[in-house]
Amino acid sequence: VQIKSLAMHITNQKLIFDVFTVGNLHNDLPWQMRSLFNNQLNMVDLNKLNTTHTNIPKIKEGRLSAQFWAAYVPCDTQYKDAVRQTLEQIDVIHRMCHEYPEVFKFAASSQDILDAFEQNKTASLIGVEGGHSIDSSLGTLRTMYQLGVRYLTITHSCNTPWADNWLVDTGSEPEMHGGLSEFGKQVIWEMNRIGMLIDLSHVSEKVMNQVLDISKAPIIFSHSSAYSVCNHKRNVPDDVLMRVKEKRGIVMVNFYNDYVTCSPTANISDVADHFDHIKKVAGSSIIGFGGDYDGVTRVPEGLGDVSKYPDLVAELLRRKWSEDEIRDALGRNLLRVFSEVEEVRDHLNGTKPDDIPIPLKEVQNPCRTDFGYQDKSSSTCIKSFYPLVLVLSLLNKLL
């Protein structure tokens, strides 16, 4: 059935436009700019780029009205240059908006998204994917917020010095913090204070529940699916789905085949099954489109790139989703959550920034200095690494 014929069931012309306009919480095109071009945007024409899931013609065909671009850097950068590399990814997103102002409008608030919609542009927002990107620093978190970052994924696929990631639940990585450390709780509260969305994709189940316990604001899963449909630990269990509903949060469905069917293959119907399940368990008010385009190697048949979002809308319409439910999933839920996070920020406006640093012993490593810390009784631990590092470096040269 063609999308246009399905849309004929909806008589309101404005609703037709709304229905086929998508707000999405996770796209890794900026990482493709680094991996393919080393962030040399002058070498790229996003109107003609054809090796990625995302380009400007596909964005227009997919009716993408709002996009959180992921400022992602790998876990290998942790304890090294994660902050620098993340800043470079933030820079790439700003430069994309500057280079294509007729298509992208940089956005840092829920109102900015509405303004971009009125201008028929794609609102372009920033999410930092992985707590390792702030290097256990609340000052870095605040600085990234000032640069326009509006969500932080608490972990990627690695533990940080203050939070456990999803691999802990598989047994392939050790639990380090029992979920969140005390500093991890500080991070959550500071994100509430400044108005940054808390993203629980990639975290352990303990972290999910602890954050739901302590956050004053709604939370998000920027790119996760339903665990009951595909028993992968990157997905969200039913009891957590119910808690997300109680917290007035949102789960944005991931399109990666391995999280959709727990196998290398999937199709558009399989993705719609996740939408149906989440709606059945917790209602349409917590559902959104997560995608994960350009961050995964396999996507479902029928959802090959960002131009295919309307086809998924057509599948949901075929499954008798109502006009209100479609509106919720396509953007109304995202706008509501974003607005409520801003309301919490405004309510906490008189609260001073948290400037208590993470304990030195929790972040000591050969690449970190200890300036400012008064208790340096164990700082010789760091210095003791230096001869070992030197010896290993010499051996590596000899070999």
Alpha-carbon span 291 to 216, nearest angstrom: 27
Whether 274 is a known active-site residue: answer no
Other C-beta atoms lying within 10 Å of the C-beta of residue 398:
6
- From the list 218, 209, 301, the residue with the least C-alpha distance to 255 is 301
Q: Is the dihedral of CA 115, 120, 123, 124 positive or negative?
A: negative
Active site residue 258: no
Identified catalytic residue from 18, 28, 294, 305: 28
Number of Cβ atoms within 10 Å of the Cβ of 56:
17
- 28 as an active site residue: the answer is yes
91 is catalytic: no
Among 190, 199, 292, 325, the one annotated catalytic? 292
Q: Quickly count helices (H) and strands (E) in the chain.
A: 18, 9
In angstroms, rounded to a whole number, what is the distance separating the alpha carbons of residues 69 and 65? 13
Among 53, 132, 223, 277, which one carries the catalytic annotation?
223
Catalytic residue among 156, 232, 274, 277: 156
Tokens at residue 83, please?
Answer: 């902050």
How many residues in total does the chain contain? 399
Q: Provide the strand spans (E) within 130-179.
A: 149-153
Reference 187, options 367, 362, 340; nearest CA is 362
3-state helix, strand, coil in the chain (%, to 5): 50, 15, 40
Known catalytic membership, residue 26:
yes
Residue 384 carries which DSSP code?
A: T
Which SS3 state, helix, strand or coil, does residue 13 take? helix
Single out the catalytic residue among 18, 53, 112, 129: 129
Q: Structure tokens of 46?
A: 């996003």
In angstroms, the CA 199 to CA 187 distance is 12
| Active site (annotated) includes residue 156 | yes
List, in order, residues 6 or more apart from 216 with CB less than 8 Å away.
189, 192, 344, 348
Catalytically annotated residue among 18, 26, 135, 177: 26
CB count within 10 Å of CB 368 equals: 13
What residue type is assigned to position 50 of the chain?
Answer: N
Active site (annotated) includes residue 18? no
Instruction: Please pick, among 132, 177, 202, 274, the residue that the annotation labels catalytic.
Output: 202
**Cα 155–chain centre separation:** 10
Report d(CA 136, CA 83) in Å as an integer. Answer: 10
Active centre residues (catalytic): 26, 28, 129, 156, 202, 223, 292
